Amino acid sequence: MITKSIKNVFIVLSIIFSLVLIVFVVENVTEANTNIDDITNGIQEKYGRIQDFRGTIIIKTNFKGAVEVNKINFVLKMPDMYKSEDKNRSKLTVSDGKKIWIYDKKEKEVIKMKVLENSEKPEFDFSPILKDLENKESDLKLLKGEKVSDKSCYVIEVMPKDKTYFVKKKLWIDEKSWLPLKIEIIYGEFNSTIEYSNLTINVGVNTNEFVFTPPEGTKNVEHNATIIPKKKSINEAQKEVSFEIIEPSYTAGYEFVEAEVLGYGGVRSVSLHYINERQDIITIIETIKPKEIPPLPKAEKVKIGKKEGEIIEIERGRLLRFFGDRNVIAVVGNIDEDELIKIAESIG
């Protein structure tokens, strides 16, 4: 159970860094032609008029034919009230703009946290798409229109100008409502889609929806906590993977809170999550080394002891990747480069 800002980071790590090559890609968008401009302006204008909306997102991942599906129902009232229910994980998250409740239905546990300044938007908000459309490092191409849920859509392909990038994205934008209905990310044999359905806009959502009352018998875990309760241990995670998990001997004062095992088509990786008292986090991702490993985009070469590593700037932090004898290891966090290297050296 974690704060929403931390949960968003973990979701991103789960989708991107659990890939076989453990690569972080920053995608941006530039103006391609007048039609693209019209679509972009239409989306921005529509988003600016949204006061509330509700619906469902279905996240599908496909790696070598192994498909996983996750369904999340949500409601959002601008600017910062929201509620979401993750069916697969039996988790309910509610925010009234000042506090966040995260309720684990299986464990019958709830944690209440304060909303942090500049916290990230929930994953079902459209604002990340707008952010993409405002940037200028990729090319947009308007493809032949298609239908999503019987709605005619503009289809936009996003291809980074820097050819060292190897992930492409496609967006399906409803021609009538200017709302995104589908997002696809293609990465080699990995394919991920996010599809919106049952969307309703500006129906007058009541603020009472964003007050959570724990069911009788619910355990209150770390009320107003700043540290995430421990979940899966490293020893427990080790039983689920075929490679040796290597723990860091130096963590720059961060404390271990949880190990997460992710798998696609039999390929598994482990994410080790650490946090400090300010709720800053670092994550260490380990998986088996693949046969081919493309370079990270715009990476700086660094020394990890006797090994060579790559480091790139990402939003709100840095990612450092290097290779063990059998493993690929990435260390991610908003932390000084020197400290990031020291953590990596204590692993490698």
Q: What does the angle CA 10 – CA 14 – CA 16 come to, to the nearest 5 degrees?
A: 115
In a domain, 334, yes or no: yes
For residues 156 and 250, state if they share a domain: no
Q: Are residues 125 and 25 in the same domain?
A: yes
Contacts 24+ apart (CB under 8 A), 92-95: 92/212, 93/4, 93/7, 93/122, 94/210, 94/211, 94/212, 95/4, 95/210
CATH of the domain at 315: 3.30.200.100
- Domain closes at, from 154, 184, 201: 201
Q: Which two tokens stand for residue 289?
A: 């080394």
> Between the CA of residue 331 and those of 51, 166, 209, 262, 296, what are the distances in Å?
38, 21, 38, 16, 14
10 located within any domain:
yes
In this structure, are 184 and 268 located in the same domain?
A: no
Residue 136 and residue 43 share a domain? yes
Distances in whole angstroms, Cα of residue 279 to Cα of each of 112, 183, 302: 14, 30, 27
**Both 192 and 334 in a single domain?**
no
193 and 239 housed in the same domain: no
Looking at residue 121, its pLDDT comes to 72
Q: Give a yes or no: residue 308 inside a domain.
A: yes
* Residue 187 counted as domain residue: yes
Q: Is residue 166 one of the residues assigned to a domain?
A: yes
Domain boundary, last residue among 180, 201, 222: 201
In a domain, 212, yes or no: no
Give me the residues of the chain with pLDDT under 50, please: 1-34, 164-165, 223-230, 264-266
| Domain range enclosing 128 | 4-201
Q: What CATH number has the domain bearing residue 33?
A: 2.50.20.10
Instruction: Answer yes or no: do 34 and 179 share one domain.
Output: yes
Cβ-based neighbours of 267, under 8 Å, separated by 6 or more: 20, 63, 64, 287, 288
Is residue 175 domain-shared with residue 242, that is, in the same domain? no
Residue 181, pLDDT score: 93
Residue 222 lies in a domain: no
Number of domains in the chain: 2
pTM: 0.57
Residue 229 has what pLDDT? 42
**pLDDT for the residue numbered 81:** 93
Q: Is residue 217 part of a domain?
A: no
pLDDT in tens, 225-254: 443 444 688 988 888 888 889 999 999 999
